[in-house]
Chain A
Amino acid sequence: MPRRELTNGKQVADWLEGLGQTVTAPGELILIGSGGLLWHAHERGLETELPEASMDVDPITDSDEIARLCYDGIIGSEFEREHGWHINLMPHSVLRELPPAWRERASKRHYGPVTLIVPHPEDLLAPKLKRGEPRDLKHSEWAKRSGLIASLKS
């Protein structure tokens, strides 16, 4: 039975693996928000679950093909019924909310022809802390508690 929300990094990694096997042409995908934090956690083998689970991932892409596939994962889609969360494409301009030089600190991985770029957790948390909503603060506390930031700094 699939999870009904996005709570752990394996869900994000599985989606990216699938995307990498489906996409045919090179393209870039930047993952921000909680999905990015969960990806970092998974990369470091942290199995901790995100408090106040997310309902979506927030990718940004320059690829027509990836964008098309993301449209198939919109809210209310078959994808959402299957996975329990949906895909919420964000515009490139939202990256201005991240601290300067975030690209220099970001992680990069390849999933087939998809180049994944995930800003550093501290950069992902910056807009959340600026917003300061209870859920954002819980995500920040989770990142600290889980050692996500410390483990990345080492």
Chain B
Amino acid sequence: MTEHGILYQDYAKLEYGRMLWKYADMRERLLRHWTDPRHPHAERFKQWRPEVEKLLASPKDSDDELDRELRSRGLSLRVVVREIPSVFGDFF
């Protein structure tokens, strides 16, 4: 686990999501994938989309700050990172 108690597999979604989010084509591709009705978490993503997008647009060295801000709202970095949907299947 990472220092914020996040599973490595989950943190990979944040680390590489951040890396690719800055590219408009990848951002569109990820959003298309996560909102695709074939994605099992598409409905859940709708609820969490603003938080997830904010996370993916954040600088890579902002974890502590984000965690503090999220905790002030009853959330945490760990909770929101888990809501970044996985990428899988032939419809990505």
Contact = CB atoms under 8 A, between A and B. Distances in A.
A7 B26 CA distance: 32
A70 B14 CA distance: 15
Contacts of B14: 91
Given A93-B2, A93-B8, A76 B89 contact: yes
A71 B92 CA distance: 9
Nearest to B2: A93
Given A64-B20, A71-B20, A71-B87, A77 B92 contact: yes
A91 B19 contact: no
A93 B13 CA distance: 13
Nearest to A92: B15
A89 B12 contact: yes
Contacts of A64: 19-20, 23
A74 interface: yes
Contacts of A74: 87-89, 92
A3 B70 CA distance: 45
Interface residues of B, number: 18
A17 interface: no
A90 B92 CA distance: 19
B34 interface: no
A67 B13 CA distance: 11
Nearest to A63: B19
A59 to B, nearest CB: 10
The 5 closest A-B pairs by CB, nearest first: A76-B89, A91-B15, A91-B11, A94-B8, A91-B12
Interface of A: 64, 67-68, 70-71, 74-78, 81, 88-94
